[in-house]
Structure formats: structure tokens, C-alpha cells
Structure 1
């Protein structure tokens, strides 16, 4: 009898336990109380009254939610930015339940609390990337995309606008996950024409998964543009004025209903950007090792740029789980630049005895336009993770430059260049969940580029020179990619394994001399991303990826530039792509109000591309002139490893502090570059072994002063660095800004000082050796693209709250695992 009683009790207990662990589904809808419009991204928070474990989810575009949970008793709350929290009290859930329609009303008094929540979500960590929300950064107000990137941890933008990630300039820049006309033909110049107000966040992808392009040995920077998520008509307008001359206006408008979302970003800017550079060439007597003569080049840049850009998009919801989006982007830029270059050469011991004196003035008028048409179809099927995305994109970029050159007041050259590029993109991505915590992804991408460039150099009478650098090229690059990856989460361990194949077909036809060079290759790119949650505050990530760097069209065009009579760039049609294997070990921890992100990384690259310089003696205007030619080559193998630490600390409500430190070391072997110059002479350029390290650090502080004035300070230091021919000096930059909300928090005023001490300059020394390995030239150079900028910005927001970010909570379960998307 006792045994029977025990058996019955055991059966009852087991049944009760099974009932307690039963999976249930909670559904419902959240609407705004007055308009009855659905609230997308409203947050459902379920707190288990027994274990205090939190799960939850968010509403979709129709305001509906569906949350999976274990049976039990939960305290249920509904939250949305700027609205009163709805407390549904404690509810015991034993079976599937529909909570019906939940109505929320606005509550302006909660905005300060919401702001604190949003502050804590400036960094999101995923298996294969980090996401930085940049909307709160006052130092970029009135600025551009280059300013935004320069404030992102791990990223640097140098004096010329070149973007680097962890000290490596081969970084792939995407817009909304795709190549874009927003980057344009000139790359870094185009980023300066994209207003900061159009950018919502930046994804830093140092260990890209297989779904991303293999291009970019350092990794990928994905710029996400703003697209309204609030129902009704809303937007903002930013107006900026500054010194040196700067004026910009950038409206962002959005209209959203239940079935459609109409969004736009518009911007007009006028800017004068004075800059300067100075180069000093010391010519060494190889017999005595003494300096024989010195040549200086003193350049002043007077730039004037007018830029208009507009994007318009319409997203239409076919069903609650599928939508189609069409967008159009247009940009027109006009530049009027004057570059004055004063070149002098004199005996080293007698500076007053000039051997050469020339004033070269280049007046460049540039007219460029970019157009892009995009169609996106997204189908989330049953809303449980299965997803199909189809992207079609066509873009056209056209740029015309007219650059007459006068020497000592006499017109000498008529230069012009017309460049046109047509780009096509077809992309399909499919995600299929397998069970609750795993999924498989498949995809294809075709990227086709057809570029033509016609560069003409003529004398003042329209006739070609004896040595004619004019050239016309047709560059075609077609890339066909296929990928598959599988992700899974087992308790606290997550992994994402992928394989990508890219077929590359590159053809360069030089129409001028009817020569053709081509590069065709198929490569495989495996990726591995692992993650382990040690506890609620600590996690580890480990990533591996193989990547490449393809040469751009100007890298393989064998003809010379004409920006200077004595400093010339020419391409190399024999250059090969660089391949890199990258390893990244990351650790993240939170200690009360302090968050630390750290990484150790290693990269092994083969056929590294690097520019080298050499001397040539030429006859110009019946005079013997020394010309320095710079060209890209493959220098061999490079080992690079480093350590990165990023911290965020909020000691009080009125202080937000963050800092980044990155140390890296790299090594390349000694190398000799052999080539035949344009006179048919065999040349040898010895390159030194590089075993060098460098580091950079960034500190950012946001302090709330009396009268609710926000004060932000950003300090950045970049250490010295060397390569096979050059030593680059350190650089220190300081930015300041002050912000004040006005008009009942509907508007903001921001005073911004960029480069407070006018110290953002690239200073370097280049050493050139002859065939015998003897030092023959030292070039000491300083370059400053843009001088200190002071600006005042006014932003007005209508029908939207000051803070539009939704709170980010770290839920356990209730929606599956994000494997990097």
C-alpha cells in the first residue's frame, strides 16, 4: 500500500512538473489610445514571480506580438518610448492566451527616464559584429559621414579622409548592407558629402560571417541610414552655419500608416575647405652622404564645394509579414578648387641660390552626379524566423573634371577627365529556422561594374605633349558570390559556421594603346564565429574569416596623374589581390556601471598591396627635372596582431565616459622591387624590413552642466607608424561641443569646434634608396586636408520625441537567437 501511495505521489508530482514546464504562447496587440494606430516596437516584459527571470518580445508593424514562454506566474508590463507603462499585473499562464488589445497613452514625464535607458544601449554585441548608435554624438552635428566614422571605436579617419579599421585602411564600406552610390566614384570624398544627420548607426564587423562580401581585409563598416519607425507624419530639420564658410540644411521627413512608410533624407551644403601641404626633398650625394641640394613644394588648397543629395523611399506592407520597398537616391556635387603649388630648388649650403623656381596653379572645376534605384522585397512568412529577402539595385555615377594648369602665370596645360560608372546588384538571402535555436542561411549576390574613364592632357593650343599621359580606359569587374551558413545555440554556447565562394572577372582595356589585362579567379572564404555566455554579465566570442582586397581601377591603370609636375601617381596592371586570414578573440563584461569590451586579433596577409616611390630624371621645358613616381605593388607577406579595449562608464546621471585603446604590431620582410621605367631602363627599389608597432586611443566625455547644457569632449591620439619606405609621426586631435535643448525640448542648439588646436595633420618622412641600396633622397612632408572648423547647428523636431531609440533589453528566450543579422 505504501509503495502504491508513493507511486501515485510520484506520478502526480511528475505530471505537475510537466504541467509547470509546459510551453505556452502569449499573443495580443498594442495600439495608441487616441488614434488607434499600431505601435511597432512596443516592448512586452514578462517577469517570472518565482525565479525573477525576464523574457519578452516586441510588436511588429501591425502592433501585434507573439511570445513563447514556459507556464508559470508572470508580472506583465507593456512599454513604449514616451508612453505610460501599462502594468497588467500578475497573471498565471497555464495555456495559450490572447491578451487582446492593449491601449497606451503618451506621458511626457517619462522622457528623462527613457533617455537613461537609451544611453545604456549605445553598443550592441553580436556574434560577428558590434553596433554603435551614433545619434547622441554632438561632435558630429552639422558634420558628415567621415566625422561620424572618426568617432566610432576601432575606426580612424586620417587627414586625407582615408578610413582605417584597427590601423588597416583596407576596410569595406557599405550603406544599409549593400554597395551604394552614396560612396560614389571617389570614395572618401563622397563620404564628406553625406550628412551626419542621415545616419542612425554604424556596424563594425571585424569578423564578418559568410553572408557578407569577402572584400575588405580589415573588415566591414556598414552605415545604417535613418528610416522613420513612428506612425503619422514626423521628422526633423537641421540647419548649420560655420567658419570657415559652411552652410547646410538637412530635412528628414517620414510619413507612416498601417500599410505604408514614406521616408526621405534631403541635404544641401555649401562649404569652403582651406587646406595645405608642404614637402621638403633633400638630395643626398651618395659618395659623401652629404646633402647636395634641397627642393620644397608648398601647396595651398582653396576649395569650394556645393552638394545636394536627396533620397526618397516607399515601403508598402503587402501583408503583416511581407513588404516591398522602392527607393531612389540622387546627388549632385559641384567643386571649384584652386591648388597653388610653389616649387623651389636650391643648393643646400646656399638657400638663396635658386636652381629652380616655379609657381604652378591648377584650377579644377568638378561636376559629379550619382543616381541609384533600389527595390527590396522582404517576406517573413509566418513571423517565426523564416525569411526571404530579394534586393535589386542599379546605380550610375558620372564625374567631369576640367583642370587647366598655369606655370609662372602662363597657361601651360588643359586637363580634363570624364568618368562614368554603371553598377548592377542582384542579391537573394534566405533564412530557414531549424527548431527553436538553430537556423540555416543561403544566398547569392551578383555585383557588376562597367566603368569608363577618358583623361586628356593638352597644351594651351590643344595639342598633345611629346610624352602624352592622356589615356582612356574601360574597366569591367563582375563578381558572383554564393554562400551558406548554419547557426545554433546550445544552452550558453552559440556558433555560426559559413562558407562563401566568389568568382571574380576583371578586365581592363586601355583604349589609348589597345592593351588588355585581365584577372580571373575563384576563391573560397570560410567563416567561423563562436560565442559563450559565461554568466549574465560576461561573454566570450571567437571569430575566424578569410578575406581579400581587390585592386581598384586606378590601381591598375598604367598612366600617370597630373596633380603635380614632380609628384606623380601611376597604376600597376600586374598587381594581384591581397588575401588575409583573420582571427579575433573577444571578451565583454559589465561591472555595475562599467562596460568593458576587449579583443585580441591576428591577421596573416599575402601579396600585400602598398604604394612605393622612386626617382626619375626627366626633361620638362628643356630643363632636367627630378620626378617622384608613386605606384602600388605587392610587397609580400604581412603579420599583424593587436589588442583592443573599449570601455563605457556612467558614474552618475550627469556624466557619461567612454574610452578606446588599440595597440597593434605588424611585420613585413625585406623586399626588392624590380621594374623598367618609361625610358626602358631597368630599375631596382630596395624596401626595408618592417617590424613596427603603433597604437591609438580615444576618450569621450559627456557632462551635463547647470541649465541642462550638455558638454561633450573628444580626444584622439594616434601613435607613430612605419612602413617599407616611410615613417609617419603621431597626431593628437581635440573636438568640443555644447548642446542645449530649447522650445520645450522640440529643438536643440549645438556649438561644435572640430580640431580645436588645428593639429589634424599628416606628417611623415620618406626615404628613397638607389639600386645599390644607398640613401639618395629624404622627403619630409606635412599635409592638412581641412583646418579647424567652428559650427553652430539648430535642429527642430516635429511630431517625434527627442529620443527615438527603443530600449534594448537582454531577454532570455522569447524570440530565438540572432546569429549576426
Structure 2
């Protein structure tokens, strides 16, 4: 099957080794070789099966599978054989009574699609681990019905091993230290705010997602948990072809995307166009109990928040691949996006005394607007030499991103005659990024040598300002600047890297060993306070991958790599949000990078209807990032002296006197906390019990241990030492079911459960959620109608409890409520089962799978 690939070859003949004692072999063995290609595209066909049976001794069976180049090689005793080449969706090629008396090359074998099998290919090829290579796994997600009309965040949240929380933060195997790439390269699109950028990228523009839990030296060392690479659609079918998808949804969601391709003899033009207009409601609840409240201040506060994230955006990408000669191609692409909208928040603080009697209600309305612009250009030159696999690539890209947020915050006491307090925030962010890279691949015998250079240079400026007592008619810029919450941060990063690696396959054994060197030069400049900090360091990052084929369609692998996680963005920015004045996030510009040693032992086994991939992993991290909550030493002050307030229970006017109400502000901040051990067990199952039913399951259980303590001074001036030695166990699972109903209606269900997890300051509670979708092909399979419901039970939330010396809190966050979408896709000059041929992304490199 084309879309369910594996690393292993099956039914490989056990070869005989010649001994140095000159002992005569019991039977003469000869080698059978050849190459399989798709006739329509002349592209190599990977993982086609080759079956060889001795006609005189039917029990003597041998064969193999084609590699990434479409080539196969195996040994058999000399004799006469029946040979067939098979691949699901293609017509079988047979050689009857083929005499194999000496080393034989069957030549180039072209296979053609079998139209009778196409429908079966569509059913089986959905939502599975389609490629399992030596150092990465690839999941085809382009036909996932539950993400139609959605975003990249929705796509990633359906990929095994990957999770996306309510804030849009991506984690891999429960670890948020993951590097996100687009087409194998860091993208300016996701440079400033990864979570926000993923919500702006349409799901229908994505072809596949590559999950690299333990990257080799070819890849940048960033990301302690690994790398998630999003590959965009770039059709390469002959002539003019493409598809258009339109979506309407509730809550409001209007989405139109198009993917077009024009392939000529010497060029290939491709483009992705998208427009979105949506409103995503969300909500927030925080219940706090203050153990030592100030006199006259509330003991209990219930904070409720409702928001509507509004977005109107355009995403466009154009590219041209020019075949200068048969061995030289030049690809240029330009992409730009513009998004605008807002996120108005209505927040109520219900304040209770020690007897849980309501004292007063404070309302905080945050009218936030946002504008985002992104422009990027990339160029790639690929030179293929005479020897197959021998190639040189050079890449260059530049990008710029501007993200502007403006908020006007109006605070009132419900029923009060006092004038409202009006605060304004301005958050201007811009980033420029330049990337230069070259990679060289040289096949040497049955091995492959690789080497390359990469330079990544970025400059990001964040200008954040909070103003109080602003004139609402004028807006931000007319008030008094709050110096405690205002800052201007300039982050500059220069990273130069070189790497080299060599891989080879010896019989059933494969290895890939590499070494990467990265030199980092980073400036973190707080311009508001004239604090300038330069960090220079360089590191070596070794990697080693070992794979052994056990036979019977199974293999085992042992992998090791060293990784780095550099703090940037909100982790180092002292202030970037003011959504709540009693609890906020504060970045730490003094964070140091964390270093991770990653170990992984994997096993894969294939049966006729079942594929199992499993691994045991361990990550040892020094200087790991941990998020701590503490009393900031600041207060949210509410002036109520002599203020008339309407009692919400009786409607009577009362006058509150006494001191102003002072509420300690709880601050969440990241720190470097000594050592972290994260170990776990994961498995993925692809099971097809019947042609009309396919199941995919992913389960991940892990143990997380932190060692260290943290000291700070609380709002009373007392020194507090917190012990962060903690051991926590948790797990999560995801099951996807795909059923073909009568009248060729496809029914897909995704169910996810995240188990509870404890930490040194509290506990995250377990959460279950489900997605549902139905799909039907129409117009002679040129069109597809899809109805999906994301978060069917409206239960996808982040729920956690925390216990601090001064406050006990319970928090529930829901970034987006249940979404219902109806989509229609129309394909022209392109069948549903067409396989888009893509150029190798320059950032991806080539995988060594043995010669």
C-alpha cells in the first residue's frame, strides 16, 4: 500500500558468508536486482514488494522490498523462479519461469495504476503512520475529515504523539520543548508567536506532518522533545490541476482555500491561496482562596472570562520550479499573509468575604484588536550528479513579520457610581529572519555520506506598554505609563552550524552516525532599563541510529541524540500580556538554554491487518525550564473609600469605607530548574479488521521527575524556599475510527484522553474530548462534501489546581468552544487518488535507508 510505508523489508533470504577456511558452500547463490517506477510519472516506487518462488521447490520463497530509490536486491539459490512485483493500487507485474543461473538484473520495471483498486486505496490510506524511516515518522493528514475548514493546530492535534493545548501550545510525547518547522525550515510565519501562527495556517494547505522524536545530526539541534515538520502542498502532476475547498461553520467560520498546479516540460508552477473569516468563543474560570488576605480584602475571588477571538485573514504562497537542465533545478517561492481581528474579553471578579458573602463585583472589559503581516521569500538550487543519490543543494530565505496588538481595558465596580478606570496596552512585535543552508549527499558503495552548513540569523523587537487613566476618545498614548509593566525588548540570534554524518546498511543491520557543531551568539537587550546581555556558547551534538531487521516484517532500533532548547519569545519577555490584573505571566530574560540527552529504543511489527510501532524513551535534561507560581510582591488595588455600591442581593445602596482593597498579584514565570528526567513508553497501532473499517490508536505513558528547589521573597518580605523535587506519572491516548457506511459515506471519529498529572505546585486534571466527521464523494468523485464537529461534547479544556502559601486556586481554560463545519471540495484535472509528487524540501535532506 502506497501510504502505509515501513522501514523493513520482509521475506529477505538469509545470506551465506564465505568462510576463510575455504569451505565450499552448500548451494550456489546469485543476486537478483532491479528497479520499480511508476509509469505515469517515472518516479521511483518505494516499498513495492518483490516475491520470488522456486518453481521446483515451492517452499523456497525469497524476495524483498524496494528502497527510496525504487531499487531492490536479494539473493536466491540458482534455479527457475516465478517472480512478481506488487503494490496496492497498481497492476501486478509477473515473470514466469524466469531462469536465475547467475547474478541477474531485471532492469527498470514500470507499473501502472489499477483503476479497480483505487477505491480501496482511498479507504486504507487515510490517517496512518505512512512512513517509518530510520530517523523520522511521516503521517499523511491531507484527507483527515475532522480538520476540514480548520487550522494547522487542528491538524497537529490529530497526529499521533502530538498534542495541542487550549492555548495552542504544541507538545510531543507530553513535552513542549518541540521545534516547529514548515517545509523543513524555520519560517518567519511562526517566528513571533508559534501558537497564533498555527491558528492562521489553513489545514487544507497541509500535505503531511513529519514527526521526528529523535532527530539526526542533519537537523538543527533545537527542540529537546524533537521536531514537528509541516509540509505544505506542492502538486507536480502534469498540466493544470488543483482543488478548491469552501467551508461554512458555527460559530462563525467562513473559509476558502485553493491549491493549483501547472506542470510544463521544463517548469512547475504551484500556488496555495486561502481566506478565512471566523469567530471562536472561549472561556476561563479561576477560583482563588487567599490564606492571609489584607484587612477588608476578599478571602475568595471567582474570576470568569468570556472572549470571542475574531480573525479575518489571507494566506498566499506562489512558487516556480525551473528545470534548467536534466540535473539542475531552481525553485523560488514567495508567501505573504495578512490577518486582522480582535479578542474582546469580558471579565468579572466576584469578591467574597471569609463567610462567602458577596462583597462586590468588579468588571473588566478588554477590547483587543490585532494586525499581523508576514512576508517570506525562499530559493533552492538542486544539482543532481551522474551517480544516483549524489546531489548538492543550496537554500536561501528571508522573512519579515509584524504583529501589533492594541487593547483598551475598562474597569468598573458593578452598581458603583464611581467613574470607570481605563487602561490601555500596546504590543508591537516585529521580526526579520535570514537563513542560508547547503547540503551535500554522496553515496559510497552501500553507504551514504552527508555534510552541510546552516546559518540562521534573526532580529526580533517587542515594544510593550501599559498606560493608565487614558482618554477613551484618544486611546493608548494619552495616559500615564505604568513603568512596572512596560518594557522594550530586542532579541538578536546568530547561529552557525556544520554537520556530517555517514550511514550504511550491512545485511539486516543499518547504522547512521553523525556529529553537529552549533555556535550561538545571542543578545537579549532590555532597552527600557538599559540592561544588555550577550550570551555566547558553542556545542557539539552527536547522534547515532542503529536498526536491525528481525525478519517477518519486524525490526528493532536504538537511537541517541543530543538536543538544545534556547529560550526566546514569551519565555524571556518580562511582560507581553495584561489579560488579568491579579494573575499574569512574566518572562525571564536571564534564562539559560537547556540541554537534553535523548535515548530511544523502538520496535515495529507488521501483520496482514495490523501494524505496531512502539518505543521506550528517556530524556535527561539539564537546566530544564519549569513554570513557577509565586506572589509577585505587587497588589491589585481597588479604591472603594466612600463609594456608593448597589448591593447585588437587595438592590440597596451601601457605602463602603475603610482601607482600599489590596489583592496580591500571582505571577507565573519560567526558571532553570536543575535536572529533569522524562521517560516513557509509547505505541501506535494501525488495524484494518475489515475493508470498510480502519482503526488507529496511539498511547503514551511517561514518568517525569524534577530535581531542584527555588527561593524567592514573598510580598511580606519573607524568604520562601520551594522544594521542586517531584515525581509524576501520566498518560494520554488517542483513537481514530474510520468506517465506510452504505452509499459510500465515510464516518470518522477521534477520541482523546489526557490523564491527570501532578507537579510540585499542584495538579492538572484529566480531560476527554471527541471529534466527529462524515464525508461523501459526489460529482463522479470530483467533489467531496464533509460535515465535521470538533470538540463534540464541548469538553476540551485545560483544568488545573495550584497550592501556594498565600493562595489556593482552581483554573479552567477553554480556548475554543465546540465548532461545526460544512465543507465542499472540488478537484479539477485531478483524481482523488492522485499522488502529488513533490521536490525534496531543502531543509529535509535525504534519508539513508541502506543500499
TM-score category, normalised to shorter length: 0.7 to 0.9
- Structure 2 distance, partners of 1:412, 1:177, is 45
- Pick closer, same or farther for the CA change 1:340–1:59 going to 2, 3 Å: closer
- Structure 1 distance, partners of 2:795, 2:218, is 40
Alpha carbons 2:362, 2:411 under 8 Å: kept? yes
- The partner residue of 2:422 within 400, 408, 412 is 412
Tell me the residue number matched to 1:792. Answer: 822
User: How far off its partner does 1:240 sit?
Assistant: 0.9
Alpha carbons 1:48, 1:72 under 8 Å: kept? no
1:434 paired with 2:470, answer no
Alpha carbons 1:163, 1:169 under 8 Å: kept? yes
- Structure 1 distance, partners of 2:26, 2:322, is 48
Alignment of structure 1 residues 315-714 onto 2, 5 Å: 315-354=321-360, 357-408=361-412, 410=420, 412-436=422-446, 438-459=447-468, 460-461=470-471, 462-465=478-481, 467-559=483-575, 561-615=577-631, 616-618=633-635, 620=637, 623=660, 624-674=662-712, 683-714=719-750
Tell me the residue number matched to 1:729. Answer: 765
- Pick closer, same or farther for the CA change 1:350–1:818 going to 2, 3 Å: closer
- Structure 2 distance, partners of 1:396, 1:722, is 40
User: How far off its partner does 1:640 sit?
Assistant: 1.4
Tell me the residue number matched to 1:264. Answer: 271
User: How far off its partner does 1:730 sit?
Assistant: 0.3
Residue deviations 1:417-442, cap 9 Å, x none?
A: 21110001111111111112x11111
- Pick closer, same or farther for the CA change 1:536–1:381 going to 2, 3 Å: farther
- Pick closer, same or farther for the CA change 1:107–1:279 going to 2, 3 Å: same
1:226 paired with 2:233, answer yes
Alignment of structure 1 residues 8-23 onto 2, 5 Å: 21=30
User: How far off its partner does 1:139 sit?
Assistant: 1.3
- The partner residue of 1:782 within 803, 807, 812 is 812
Residue deviations 1:714-767, cap 9 Å, x none?
A: 111100012221211000001111111111111111110111110001111111
- Pick closer, same or farther for the CA change 1:122–1:90 going to 2, 3 Å: farther
Greater CA deviation, 132-141 or 786-795?
Answer: 132-141
SS of alignment partner, residue 217 of structure 1: coil
- Structure 2 distance, partners of 1:147, 1:186, is 17
- Structure 1 distance, partners of 2:109, 2:178, is 47
User: How far off its partner does 1:42 sit?
Assistant: 5.9
Residue deviations 1:560-587, cap 9 Å, x none?
A: 6322222222222221111111111111
Tell me the residue number matched to 2:249. Answer: 242
1:802 paired with 2:832, answer yes
- Structure 1 distance, partners of 2:275, 2:127, is 33
Tell me the residue number matched to 2:299. Answer: 293
- Structure 2 distance, partners of 1:670, 1:605, is 13
- Structure 2 distance, partners of 1:192, 1:671, is 36
Tell me the residue number matched to 1:177. Answer: 184
Residue deviations 1:775-809, cap 9 Å, x none?
A: x21011110000011111111111112123499xx
- Structure 1 distance, partners of 2:171, 2:440, is 32
- Pick closer, same or farther for the CA change 1:48–1:101 going to 2, 3 Å: closer
Greater CA deviation, 379-388 or 138-147?
Answer: 379-388
1:715 paired with 2:751, answer yes
- Structure 2 distance, partners of 1:546, 1:557, is 27
Tell me the residue number matched to 1:132. Answer: 139
- Structure 2 distance, partners of 1:284, 1:451, is 41
SS of alignment partner, residue 21 of structure 1: strand
1:144 paired with 2:126, answer no
User: How far off its partner does 1:344 sit?
Assistant: 2.8
- Structure 2 distance, partners of 1:487, 1:42, is 22
- Pick closer, same or farther for the CA change 1:471–1:693 going to 2, 3 Å: same
- Pick closer, same or farther for the CA change 1:688–1:797 going to 2, 3 Å: same
SS of alignment partner, residue 570 of structure 2: helix
Alignment of structure 1 residues 294-313 onto 2, 5 Å: 294-313=300-319
Greater CA deviation, 87-96 or 580-589?
Answer: 87-96
Residue deviations 1:51-98, cap 9 Å, x none?
A: 6544576999xxxx8877879877677889977666676666878889
TM-score, structure 2 as length reference:
0.85
- Pick closer, same or farther for the CA change 1:119–1:451 going to 2, 3 Å: closer
- Structure 1 distance, partners of 2:149, 2:850, is 31
Q: Any unmatched runs of 5+ in structure 2?
A: 1-23, 55-59, 413-418, 472-477, 640-659, 838-845
- Pick closer, same or farther for the CA change 1:107–1:599 going to 2, 3 Å: closer
Alpha carbons 1:48, 1:73 under 8 Å: kept? no
- The partner residue of 1:156 within 130, 147, 163 is 163
Greater CA deviation, 449-458 or 710-719?
Answer: 449-458
- Structure 1 distance, partners of 2:577, 2:165, is 22
Alpha carbons 1:30, 1:59 under 8 Å: kept? no
Residue deviations 1:183-216, cap 9 Å, x none?
A: 2421011111111111121111111101111111
- Structure 1 distance, partners of 2:663, 2:35, is 81
- Structure 2 distance, partners of 1:549, 1:76, is 51
- Structure 2 distance, partners of 1:179, 1:559, is 25
- Structure 2 distance, partners of 1:169, 1:321, is 41
Alpha carbons 1:41, 1:80 under 8 Å: kept? no
- Structure 1 distance, partners of 2:124, 2:790, is 29
Number of corresponding residues:
775
User: How far off its partner does 1:380 sit?
Assistant: 2.3
- Pick closer, same or farther for the CA change 1:730–1:31 going to 2, 3 Å: closer
Alpha carbons 1:418, 1:454 under 8 Å: kept? yes
- Pick closer, same or farther for the CA change 1:286–1:100 going to 2, 3 Å: closer
SS of alignment partner, residue 207 of structure 1: coil
- Structure 1 distance, partners of 2:565, 2:68, is 41
- Structure 1 distance, partners of 2:250, 2:672, is 43
- Pick closer, same or farther for the CA change 1:702–1:244 going to 2, 3 Å: same
Alpha carbons 2:92, 2:111 under 8 Å: kept? no
SS of alignment partner, residue 561 of structure 1: coil
TM-score, structure 1 as length reference:
0.88
Alpha carbons 2:50, 2:86 under 8 Å: kept? no
Alpha carbons 2:252, 2:279 under 8 Å: kept? yes
SS of alignment partner, residue 320 of structure 1: coil
Alpha carbons 2:31, 2:73 under 8 Å: kept? no
- Structure 1 distance, partners of 2:681, 2:86, is 39
- Structure 1 distance, partners of 2:387, 2:574, is 53
User: How far off its partner does 1:625 sit?
Assistant: 3.2
Greater CA deviation, 407-416 or 148-157?
Answer: 407-416
- Pick closer, same or farther for the CA change 1:232–1:81 going to 2, 3 Å: farther
Tell me the residue number matched to 2:174. Answer: 167
- Pick closer, same or farther for the CA change 1:676–1:560 going to 2, 3 Å: farther
- Pick closer, same or farther for the CA change 1:76–1:742 going to 2, 3 Å: farther
User: How far off its partner does 1:453 sit?
Assistant: 1.8
- Structure 2 distance, partners of 1:121, 1:261, is 29
SS of alignment partner, residue 344 of structure 2: strand
- Pick closer, same or farther for the CA change 1:484–1:264 going to 2, 3 Å: same
User: How far off its partner does 1:687 sit?
Assistant: 3.9
Residue deviations 1:644-693, cap 9 Å, x none?
A: 1111111110110111111111111351223698x9x5753524431110
